[in-house]
Structure 1
């Protein structure tokens, strides 16, 4: 799927000092529509250092290869772990390099909202600030997208599955977060105040892959419905080693049966905040 898209988007990047004296990379985005994440249309992202590793690598969710000259922008809950984990387990732990590790090596803290995921603009800013030798403008860039109705159900199922999970010994969910998750999908989607979920439940997939002018930068946008075929075609284009892709990070419940989760209120939420996804990517509730 090849896309060209332009919309108003205002991004700014600044370096500030955190309470512990560490540098953090702050990214702020204001869209033409209100995000309503708090009482303001602007949200800020403040990274935190993440030191847990799988083998010798960070648990990066945005990866690149200088050898094969590509960048994979991993939009959360869109089958990205399958690609990353298979190559790191079956080829080599450092076969795919990650922006999460690069971010930490440059002295920045980890993003509490987007975690180990990076938007294209965050990747660009990191490379530009430090003259990182990654040719992000000319490297082949790709991502995977998904029907936002199904994607939000998948995210909810993922949160339930990891309701007691921790990062560096710190619970990912507060007691209030856990109580809300247990109330059900509607309560979570419409009222979550979790630092990550209040962003992810309102952030268009296209905002992950747009530049400052609002144009989509990916050379290939893979539809998760055609994942097996399209990912193999992409890997062949990039001359990647041929391996069988086992499934990773998959919820036990089938999110494709998403319709039963929705009410008029939750449908309206998706139609409001993910209007671009529905329009440009041609998804619908049916």
Structure 2
């Protein structure tokens, strides 16, 4: 997460949506009083103990709201990036097993394991995307959602909105896998559709 008092924005980093590329670009424009929480590549923590102790940078807008306060939360431009849940799930499976190499050997076996045998609901990267940008009652808290599928154009539009110059986004911490549709059979499609049903509905994605 990045909170810019200078430019009056909040960027909430949904896992596996190109967040580190966006972070790297945004850091060029942060002022001395701006805040970030992140663990990968660099380590920075927000000044609020209840958020700092989470130990990761994927903080939801609902978690930030009570500590930032209603005046700043309501007045700051809040944005995130979202991704097709079917592709994001493949990326998660490749990421979570990268050290063992099991996804490369048996991708559908890994996908079935995470969907049907031992879903890692405790893992922040596995959480549905809407949980990072919605209130507990389901209200969308973000003012704008970029899309990974049109990453640069989305970032350009966000930069225009917050009044900073855009720049070409790089790639960071990306998972290695083929085109996502090639991994699916009907059972896996149905499993992901059930698991991330709200994301598919809210963000307008389909297989």
Same fold (TM over 0.5): yes
TM-score with structure 2 length normalisation?
0.79
- How big is the shift at 1:227? 1.3
Secondary structure of the equivalent of 1:161?
coil
| Larger gyration radius, structure 1 or structure 2 | 1
Contact 2:16–2:125, Cα closer than 8 Å, also in 1:
no
Contact 1:70–1:140, Cα closer than 8 Å, also in 2:
yes
Number of residues of Structure 1 aligned to a counterpart in Structure 2: 196
Structure 1 position 184 matched with structure 2 position 129? no
Structure 1 position 266 matched with structure 2 position 188? yes
CA RMSD of aligned residues (A): 3.0
**Partner Cα distance (2:6, 2:21) in 1:** 20
Q: Look up the match of 1:59.
A: none
Q: 1:120 to 1:93 in 2, by over 3 A?
A: same
Q: 1:234 to 1:91 in 2, by over 3 A?
A: closer
Matches for 1:155-170 after TM superposition, within 5 Å: 155-162=92-99
Q: Look up the match of 2:172.
A: 248
- How big is the shift at 1:141? 0.8
Structure 1 residues 236-276: Cα deviation after superposition (integer angstroms, max 9, x where no partner):
2211244332111112334xx11222233322221112111
Structure 1 residues 192-231: Cα deviation after superposition (integer angstroms, max 9, x where no partner):
365743x643x33122111243210211111211111111
**Partner Cα distance (1:210, 1:274) in 2:** 14
Q: 1:210 to 1:91 in 2, by over 3 A?
A: closer
- How big is the shift at 1:96? 5.3
Q: Look up the match of 2:42.
A: none
Q: Look up the match of 1:26.
A: none
Compare the two structures and name the one with the higher helix fraction. 2
Q: Look up the match of 1:118.
A: 59
Secondary structure of the equivalent of 1:247?
coil
TM-score with structure 1 length normalisation?
0.59
Instruction: Identify the match of residue 139 of structure 1 among 76, 89, 98.
Output: 76
Instruction: Determine which structure has greater relative contact order: mean sequence separation of CA pairs < 8 Å that are 6+ residues apart, divided by chain length.
Output: 2
Q: Look up the match of 1:16.
A: none
Q: Look up the match of 2:24.
A: 85
**Partner Cα distance (1:86, 1:272) in 2:** 34
Q: Look up the match of 1:107.
A: 49
Compare the two structures and name the one with the higher strand fraction. 1
Secondary structure of the equivalent of 1:136?
helix
Q: Look up the match of 1:218.
A: 142
Runs ≥4 residues deviating over 4 A: 90-96, 180-183
